[in-house]
Structure 1
Amino acid sequence: MERVVLLDETGQVAGTAAKAEVHHDATPLHLAFSCYVFDGRGDLLLTRRASSKATFPGVWTNTFCGHPGPGEPLDTAILRRARQELDLEIDALRLVLPGFRYRAEQGGVFENEMCPVFVAHTSDVPGDPDPTEVDEVRAVAWEPFRDDVLAGTWPGISPWCADQVRDLAPLGPDPVRWAPGDPRALPPAAFLAS
C-alpha cells in the first residue's frame, strides 16, 4: 500500500497516510513533487491525466507529479515515478521551485501539497504510459505554452501547473538556463526523505 508523508504548517513530518485515503474534502497537507521534462528538441512533455483518476481527471498538466514515500529521497521518487507513469528515463534532474505550495479543488476533492518543482531532460520518448495515470502525452514548445497558460487560453490546465508556470516564467525563456532553486527552501520533511 502506497503511503504519503503528512506535513505540519512548517513542512515538518506529521505522520503518514495511505495515498488511496488521503485525497477528499479535507485533504491533509502532504509532501509531493512536480516535474517538467524536456525532450531532445527542447520541447516540454505535457500530459493529460487519465479520465479515470479520482483527483483532477482529464486535465492537462506538467509531465508528471507524485509523492515520495516515507523515507524515500525525492530524486529516487521522481525517477521511480517517471518510469511508472510514462515508462521514461530522465536525467539532468534539478530543483527549480523548492518552496512551491498549493491547494486546489475539483468536484469536492482537494489537493493540499507542499510540492517542490523539478526540471529534467530525456532523450527517450515516453514508452507505454500507464493508462490509469495518463490519457495522452504531447510535446509542446515551452514559450507558446507558457504564454497561453499565463494568458488563461490553454484549455483544461491543472491549477497547480498554471500556478507553477506563473512562478517559472520569471526564470527566463530557456528552461536549460533556469537557475537551480535553493535546496534550503525545501520543506524540512524533504531532507528527512533524502
Structure 2
Amino acid sequence: MKRYNNNLIVRFIFNYPLFSQIMANGISELQGYDEEQKEMMKENCIVVDENDQIIGQESKINCHRDKGILHRAFSVLLFNSENELLIQQRAGEKITFPSVWANSCCSHPLYQNGEECGIEGAKKAAIRKLEQELGTYKDSVNPEDLTFISKMHYKARADRKWIEHEVDYIFVIKGNISINPNPNEIQKTQYVNKEKLDLLFEKSTKDDIKIGPWFRLIRDNFLDNIWENLDELNRIQDNKVHHMEELQ
C-alpha cells in the first residue's frame, strides 16, 4: 500500500483556493481574444532595467498587464527606393492596441535562440517577425540590412488592463521588399512620404484614427532626422537609451 506525505496533501488543500483563483484569473484575462494572439502571450520577453541590462525573463502577458514589467522591444522602419515609409494598421485581433496605426513592424525579442544578445539579438527577432507579420520571404532580409539607430525607454497605457513598458530598439531598412501581410497581425499597409504621414497624425487628433504611442514617440523624436539622413544613417546612430515621459 502506498504511503502519502500528509504535509504535502495539507499544503495542497490549503493552497488550492488560491491556486484556482490564479488559474481562473489568467484564463479570464484572455477570454474572448483570438486564439493565435493568445498563444503568443505565452512567449517569454526579456526583462531589463532602465539602462537595458537584462535582469530576467517573463511571459508576454505578465509584461503587458496591470502596471507592466519593463522589457525589450524593437521597431522597424522600412523605406522603399522612393524614401517612402511603410506603415501598418494593426489587426483588430491584436490583444494590445488593436487597429492602431504603427510603424512597419514592431514586436519583442524573446528570451531564446540568441535574441537576448543586444542589437544582434534584436535583429534576429526583427527578421523573424518581418516574416511572420509582414510576410517577407525567407532570406529577403538579412541582419546587415537592418541599421540600428537608437533605443528609447517609454511607458504607455492601452486601457485599464493592458500597458506597454519597453526599451525599444529602433531599426531602419531601405529597399524594395515584397510583402504579404498576415491578416491576423495587420489589416492595412501603405507607403507614405513625410507629408502624408504628417496628415495622418493631424487627422488622428480629429477623426477616429488611432496611432500607437511608440510610433508617435518615434515620429516626434527620431523620424525627421532619419528621413533627412537615409543615405548616411551612421551619422545619427547612438547607443543611448533615450528616456521618454510616460504617455497617458
TM-score bin (small chain): 0.7 to 0.9
Which protein has greater RCO, CA pairs closer than 8 Å, 6+ apart?
Answer: 1
1:63 aligned partner, one-letter code: S
2:88 matched residue in structure 1: 47
Q: Percentage identity across aligned positions?
A: 27
2:168 matched residue in structure 1: 115
1:35 matched residue in structure 2: 76
The answer on 1:15 being equivalent to 2:56 is yes
Change beyond 3 A, Cα 1:161–1:145: farther
1:100 aligned partner, one-letter code: M
Mean Cα deviation higher: 46-55 or 161-170: 161-170
Aligned residues: 183
What per-residue deviation string (whole Å, max 9, x for no partner) do you get for residues 58-85 of structure 1? 0000001111122311111111111111
Q: CA RMSD in A?
A: 2.2
1:104 matched residue in structure 2: 156
1:90 matched residue in structure 2: 141
Change beyond 3 A, Cα 1:107–1:77: same
Asked if the contact 1:5–1:68 (Cα under 8 Å) also holds between the matched residues in 2, the reply is yes
Q: 1:153 aligns with which of 203, 206, 212?
A: 203
Cα distance, 1:146 vs structure 2: 4.5
Change beyond 3 A, Cα 1:16–1:172: closer
1:102 aligned partner, one-letter code: Y
Asked if the contact 1:90–1:121 (Cα under 8 Å) also holds between the matched residues in 2, the reply is no
Once residues 170 and 140 of structure 1 are traced to their aligned partners in structure 2, the CA distance between those partners, rounded to angstroms, is: 14
Secondary structure in 2 matching 1:176? coil
Secondary structure in 2 matching 1:82? helix
2:80 aligned partner, one-letter code: D
Once residues 38 and 170 of structure 1 are traced to their aligned partners in structure 2, the CA distance between those partners, rounded to angstroms, is: 13
Once residues 131 and 196 of structure 2 are traced to their aligned partners in structure 1, the CA distance between those partners, rounded to angstroms, is: 25
Cα distance, 1:186 vs structure 2: 5.6
More strand by share: 1
TM-score (norm 1): 0.83
Asked if the contact 1:100–1:115 (Cα under 8 Å) also holds between the matched residues in 2, the reply is yes
Mean Cα deviation higher: 154-163 or 57-66: 154-163
Q: Which runs of 5+ in 2 are unaligned?
A: 1-41, 116-120, 243-248
Q: 2:177 aligns with which of 100, 116, 124?
A: 124
Asked if the contact 1:99–1:185 (Cα under 8 Å) also holds between the matched residues in 2, the reply is yes
Once residues 134 and 127 of structure 2 are traced to their aligned partners in structure 1, the CA distance between those partners, rounded to angstroms, is: 11
Once residues 229 and 198 of structure 2 are traced to their aligned partners in structure 1, the CA distance between those partners, rounded to angstroms, is: 14
Cα distance, 1:144 vs structure 2: 0.9
Once residues 17 and 86 of structure 1 are traced to their aligned partners in structure 2, the CA distance between those partners, rounded to angstroms, is: 26
Q: Radius of gyration: which is bigger?
A: 2
1:185 matched residue in structure 2: 240
Cα distance, 1:182 vs structure 2: 4.0
Secondary structure in 2 matching 1:144? helix
Once residues 140 and 170 of structure 1 are traced to their aligned partners in structure 2, the CA distance between those partners, rounded to angstroms, is: 14
